[in-house]
Amino acid sequence: MGMVFNIALDGLSYGMVLFMISVGLSVTLGLMRVINLAHGGFALLGGALMHGLTFQLGWPFALALPVSVLSVTLIALPMEYVFFRPLYGKGDLTQVLATIGLTFLMIAFVNWLYGSALLGIPLPPYLRGTVDLGLRTLPVQRVAVIVTGMVVLGALYGLIERTRFGIWLRASVDNRAAAEALGINTRWVFAATFALGAGLAALGGVLGAELMPIEAYYPLRYLVVILAVVAVGGMGSVWGAWFAALGLGLIDTAARYALPDFGTIFFFAALIVVLALRPQGLSGRAYDV
């Protein structure tokens, strides 16, 4: 009984971390059909900025977090204009090569700035302790990640399904020409969505840093995990990404409790099974470029 409870709790909190670091890619890859392998790079930039502000300059965490996330969002706008706009509608291989190249540039930049050491982000006292749940304790930081994850999930759902911007975005993606004919500024919609994805990456990078610490090679180290969540979840579905992250988190955690020697086999077995049965992912609409 205790073990089932432990697995559920740790699986949930690990799954939420997975969701936080991959939801941004689900937005850009799924909605805009850009295979953005540089997603982890934006998480790295956010984390490195956070490290600079809190660890080196001594800013309070609560101030540095929005500043870092907003900065990455703003940095993403000119990058979208220069690097990504020419990629929309191009072949998969072109997008993969261009974005992996951009990832290398980001890695080299952080490496040049800070070297390849771990970039610690000191937690403020109010995130440091643990919460007693009766049967066991849970770090406050994890609770914060779970709460933030739920807020992000709700906000994204509301934004995409319930606002005018969401309508514009879905229209622009489904039929760009028709959307433009109706007076929607699709360039602006794409740029804003891309920046949103980058900002989510930065937020996820910082909040997930307790498990996946920020260092120069972060974008490549966790690329497979991020892509796995998005692929299982199905392109373009925030709910799908959430289900996938929780499911994979639970499976991985259960394997760690019960059969640690078998490593991450179960994680990838689940990935294979889902993609074999549902190539479009759990919530998949057909992926037509």
Positions touching another protein (CB under 8 A) are 2, 6-7, 10, 13-14, 17, 55, 111, 115-120, 122-123, 130, 136-137, 139, 141-142, 210-213, 215-217, 221-222, 225, 252-253, 256-257, 260-261, 263-264
Q: Residue 82 has what DSSP assignment? A: I
In this complex, which beta carbon is closest to another protein, that of residue 2 or of residue 134? 2
In this complex, which beta carbon is closest to another protein, that of residue 169 or of residue 209? 209
In this complex, which beta carbon is closest to another protein, that of residue 132 or of residue 288? 132
Tokens 């740790």, residue?
A: 10
Radius of gyration of the chain (CA): 19
Single out the residue of 16, 39, 21 nearest to residue 29, CA to CA: 39
Four-CA torsion 111, 113, 115, 118, nearest 10 degrees: -100
The β-bridge relationship of strands 130-132 and 137-139 is: antiparallel
DSSP 89-151: T--HHHHHHHHHHHHHHHHHHHHHHHTTS----PPPGGGTSEEE-SSSEEEHHHHHHHHHHHH
In this complex, which beta carbon is closest to another protein, that of residue 187 or of residue 221? 221
The runs of H, that is alpha helices, within 140-237 are: 140-162, 164-174, 176-181, 186-207, 218-221, 223-233
Neighbours of 257 (CB within 10 A): 13
In this complex, which beta carbon is closest to another protein, that of residue 263 or of residue 279? 263
In this complex, which beta carbon is closest to another protein, that of residue 179 or of residue 206? 206
